Structure 1
Amino acid sequence: MPHDDPPPDDPASPTCYARELDEAWLKPLSPEERARQVAQWRREERARLVALRVARPAEERQAIADQVGRELDRLIAPDAVVGLYWPFRGELDLRPWMRDFVGKGGRAALPVVVAKDQPLVFRAWTPGCRMSHGVWKIPIPAQGPEVVPDVVVAPLVGHDPNCYRLGYGGGFFDRTLAAFAEKPLAIGVGDGSGAIASIFPQAHDIPMDVIVTEAGRQDRR
């Protein structure tokens, strides 16, 4: 997926905001103040988790990506249309899996930002197709038809036991899932360092159906 807001240059994170986000602590707050505190906590947690995954050696990340790819083979039909992503800031690199999937007869697509606060569209991708730079200079197919994916594979900054995904904060992914006439299978992928107790989901957050890391597969309860 494209990235809603670029990660901060300084990945350092101060002390955890667990006390501020305890349910009992939040009850007296107005909805606006509660949302503000959750947003603040997410910014801090996002920076901490991005720093952890960037610090992981590249060969370890690729080994995790290969392991995740094997689970995707079990989850995704070989003739499906799959929306994937181009890796950024230490995300799992699934491009080898994407090439193999297309080579076996599947169809792949990459997300394109149309405008701020609008759902993403998916443009068909094939090995060797002409690419251009999208938002934050992330490569996207330069041309080609828009497609509607059967499955959307999204990178995780963080995730919780209820399959809620912590992303980059701009809400592109949630708006996109909400806009589909028929919701695709949503799979979040990442490494185990992104596991947290809760992302403190808000009304706009849409959970993944499945999360896959090196720790295994986690299905939505």
Structure 2
Amino acid sequence: MESWDEIRRWRKTERAVMIERRLAASREDRARWNEAIAATIAQRLPQFRQMLVGFYWPFKGEFDARPLARALLKEGARFALPVVVEKAAPLIFREWWPGKTLTPGVWNIPVPAEGEPVTPEALLVPLVGFDQQGYRLGYGGGFYDRTLAAIMARTGSKPLTVGVGFELSQMATIHPQPVDIPMDLIITEARFDEVRPEGLLPLT
């Protein structure tokens, strides 16, 4: 594929396939995968307990980070949820904790109803798909790429970006474009990989 129009059409098709594949997994399988991913994050990323971590409300069978967030909050972590402020613009993040007032956002996904924007030091980023170079296939809005670019422009550094999804979401390539920003880590129920220039490297 050479043109962006071709790649965009291909991504739309692949996105639908990946979401359908995820939704077709049994509830029991997804629960088991959720537990494995949460355990990996809790054990392998102890620095989260001293960080402000951006996460996401689960959508269409995604990894559910809420139980993990509730547990890590008790150990010193802070968490924030993304808010879409306008189309084709960076996300903002507002701090979240159990009992925080939420309101329906885009696609009726709950978001904090109020609060000053905060800048996460790390991000758990949902993977519709991921490739062997650490790039993610998202929902097509480009929100995370814009958000990461905006944070880097404002602060001079990028949050630790942790792509989180299931093994069934892996792809050979998403045909990355110049605006696509790779993850730093990819975590599934079966992997904890660092993203290197040469591709995904399992961390032991």
Check whether TM > 0.5: yes
| 1:59 shift after superposition | 2.3
Alignment of 1:138 onto 2:113 = no
Partner in structure 1 of residue 121 of structure 2 = 150
CA distance in 2, matches of 1:93, 1:136: 17
Partner in structure 2 of residue 41 of structure 1 = 10
Which one of 69, 75, 87 corresponds to residue 45 of structure 2? 75
Partner in structure 2 of residue 105 of structure 1 = 76
Which one of 55, 65, 78 corresponds to residue 34 of structure 2? 65
Which one of 49, 64, 85 corresponds to residue 114 of structure 1? 85
| 1:123 shift after superposition | 0.2
- Measured on the aligned residues, the alpha-carbon RMSD in Å equals 1.0
| 1:76 shift after superposition | 4.5
CA distance in 2, matches of 1:149, 1:120: 11
CA distance in 2, matches of 1:114, 1:76: 31
Which one of 139, 158, 172 corresponds to residue 183 of structure 1? 158
Write the deviation string for residues 68-100 of structure 1: whole angstroms up to 9, x where unpaired: 112212224111100000001111111100111
Q: Secondary structure at the match of 1:220?
A: strand
Q: Give the unaligned 5+ runs of structure 1.
A: 1-20, 27-33
Count residues with an aligned counterpart. Answer: 190
Distance 1:82 1:159, change over 3 A: same
CA distance in 1, matches of 2:113, 2:76: 22
Write out aligned runs for 1:6-21 (5 A).
21=1
Alignment of 1:196 onto 2:171 = yes
Matching residue's letter, 1:133: P
Write the deviation string for residues 133-163 of structure 1: whole angstroms up to 9, x where unpaired: 1111100111223211010101100001110
Q: Secondary structure at the match of 1:218?
A: strand
Alignment of 1:167 onto 2:142 = no
CA distance in 1, matches of 2:111, 2:35: 23
Matching residue's letter, 1:214: E
CA distance in 2, matches of 1:87, 1:154: 11
Distance 1:54 1:91, change over 3 A: same
Moved over 4 A (4+): none
Matching residue's letter, 1:67: A
CA contact (8 A) 1:82 1:149 kept: yes
Partner in structure 2 of residue 220 of structure 1 = 195
CA distance in 2, matches of 1:162, 1:60: 26
CA distance in 1, matches of 2:27, 2:118: 32
**Structure 1 length as normaliser, TM-score?**
0.83
CA distance in 2, matches of 1:101, 1:116: 32
**Structure 2 length as normaliser, TM-score?**
0.90
What is the identity percentage for the equivalent residue pairs of Structure 1 and Structure 2?
A: 47
